[in-house]
Structure 1
Amino acid sequence: MQVLRFLPVLLVACLGGTSALAQKTPSATAPAPERNMNNSGLIANIGNEQNAFYTFDTRYEGLKGTPYLVSGWRPADLTLSDGRAFSDIPARFDVYSKRLVIKQNKDSVWLDQRMVREFVLHDSPSPAMPTRTDRRFRAFPDATDAELRTSFAELLHEGPQYALLKLPRKKLVKANYQGPYAADRRFDELIDRETYYLRRPDGTLVEVKPNLKGLTAVDAALGQKLQAEAARSKASGKSEAELVALLQAVDAK
């Protein structure tokens, strides 16, 4: 692994014409709340210009949620598209803009899937994955699915035959409080969404529901093995952690 002080030279050498993505201010990060006439001030004329006055709609409450996978910075190992690797770089994954943000001194550098092949975030255990402390993400530039092709997917399992991927996404739900039929929703919100994919032995990637029934529907042979292992280990396979454990058990054989 190389150290961080070599990263500026590497980025200039390997990114070339993509320097626009390495600005301090990204072109697409957290969505800025839209401003309209009601938010910026509405001029209401009564009679004539001498009687004009201003009213302000202060109901808008801003943006809820975060564009990032997790809050704060995490130490990360990353492999660039040319194969060179770096370790222990402060980073965070901007899911909304589909880019990895790394910290270099006091600056932030935005890198997309064209520049980064893979990165690993060293994270704390969570209730969903109590024993997993490293989260590995990879670019899939050859995927037929446009969402997967332009972002980074988390590798929940990668074995000799199968891989289970989770693509994190952020959906922006706009405020809706103006007009007679509005829902009185006074804030924009970024909501977490995930899509799962199974990579089969022939290399194809297919979207799948993260449960035994869903995996069986896209690969009957794998489904039979998973059902047998679930019966043996008395696992339901309904949680992400259990499903990954079942896959690890049958894909290692």
Structure 2
Amino acid sequence: MKINAKSIFLFTLGLTYSALGFSQTNAPQGLDAQMNLNRLASGATSNVRVFDNRYEGVKGSPYFLESWAPGEIEIKANNTGKTEVIKDLKLKYDVFSNLLVAVIPQSKDTLQIGTQPVISFRLDVPTGDNKLEFRRIKEARELDPALSDAFFAVLYDSQNGKATVLKRIAKKKIEANFKGPYSAGQNYDEIVDETSYYVVANGKMKKVKLNRKSLLEAFPEKADQIKSFISSQKLAMSSEADLIKAVTYYQSL
């Protein structure tokens, strides 16, 4: 299938998700990156359709970031058991539909890619010093099967693998409700944010809130030490930064 710069395609690739246990090849760039993405398209002709402007007239944004962000995508490399990293892309993450929108470096084609073949992806966010990584988490299935294919933003990952702090950025759609002559409901569909936080430690994934009580309940075996640390550092535990500081202390114990 020929791809041109005026077309926007949706790739819903029916590839089975594999665990994050692949070895990584050298990262292809430039024309190599374009060829890799075009290869994805050529393998999914029967599943390609023109983008349908699904969000037209809907209030709110389906995207993690409204603007294009420099980024890269790690994908499965055919059936070789390896992965490829495609760099130098402009990306948007459609959180609501769990899709990536990518601009191919050389041709400037704009593509929407289903996330089934995607292992992870990274975005340069305006507020961060490093790329923000999104990846699937193997422990999520045990916590909630509905999270098996979800992507989580990695806020902190200890070098020894003892603890990881994750952010689940989700979107939900509130349907318009204007039935009946006296209805006071909203007269438009709206997409709103739903953000939640998780900690993975000792092979278990736990949902936490941005408060002290929730974190102490997540680590009952170290609750007294963490509580003392929070007090000594005067942490309000109402921000991501405080959560990361507390979990960083936990993994050092």
Per the normalisation by structure 1, the TM-score is: 0.74
- Residues 38-187 of structure 1 mapped to structure 2, 5 A cutoff: 62-81=57-76, 82-104=82-104, 105-125=107-127, 132-140=129-137, 143-144=140-141, 145-159=144-158, 160-187=161-188
Summarize deviations over 1:164-191 as a string: whole Å, max 9, x none: 1111111101111221452241111100
Q: In percent, how many aligned pairs have the same letter?
A: 25
Q: Distance in 1 between matches of 2:46 and 2:156?
A: 34
Structure 2 runs not aligned, ≥5 long: 1-26, 77-81
Q: CA deviation at 1:77?
A: 2.3
Question: Does the aligned pair in 1 maintain the 2:175–2:188 contact within 8 Å?
Answer: yes
Q: CA deviation at 1:192?
A: 0.4
For residue 224 of structure 2, give the secondary structure of its aligned residue in structure 1: helix
Summarize deviations over 1:186-242 as a string: whole Å, max 9, x none: 1111000012222121x2222222332112223213433432221222212121221
For residue 195 of structure 2, give the secondary structure of its aligned residue in structure 1: strand
Who is 1:52 aligned against? Answer: none
Count, aligned residues: 216
Q: CA deviation at 1:151?
A: 2.3
Q: Distance in 2 between matches of 1:222 and 1:101?
A: 42
Work out whether 1:226 is the aligned partner of 2:249.
no
For residue 194 of structure 1, give the secondary structure of its aligned residue in structure 2: strand
Question: Does the aligned pair in 1 maintain the 2:120–2:136 contact within 8 Å?
Answer: yes
Question: Does the aligned pair in 1 maintain the 2:58–2:188 contact within 8 Å?
Answer: yes
Work out whether 1:4 is the aligned partner of 2:30.
yes
Letter of the 2:155 counterpart: L
Q: CA deviation at 1:114?
A: 2.2
Q: Distance in 1 between matches of 2:138 and 2:43?
A: 19
Q: CA deviation at 1:85?
A: 1.1
Q: Distance in 2 between matches of 1:219 and 1:3?
A: 43
Question: Does the aligned pair in 2 maintain the 1:229–1:250 contact within 8 Å?
Answer: no
For residue 196 of structure 2, give the secondary structure of its aligned residue in structure 1: strand
Name which one, 1 or 2, has greater alpha-carbon Rg: 1
- Residues 181-196 of structure 1 mapped to structure 2, 5 A cutoff: 181-196=182-197
Letter of the 1:197 counterpart: Y
Q: Distance in 2 between matches of 1:232 and 1:250?
A: 14
Structure 1 runs not aligned, ≥5 long: 33-61, 126-130
For residue 3 of structure 1, give the secondary structure of its aligned residue in structure 2: coil
For residue 67 of structure 2, give the secondary structure of its aligned residue in structure 1: coil
Letter of the 1:74 counterpart: A
Q: Distance in 2 between matches of 1:153 and 1:172?
A: 20
For residue 234 of structure 1, give the secondary structure of its aligned residue in structure 2: coil
Q: CA deviation at 1:71?
A: 0.7
Larger RCO (CA under 8 A, 6+ residues apart): 2
Q: Distance in 1 between matches of 2:108 and 2:198?
A: 37
Q: Distance in 2 between matches of 1:31 and 1:141?
A: 31
Q: Distance in 1 between matches of 2:224 and 2:115?
A: 35
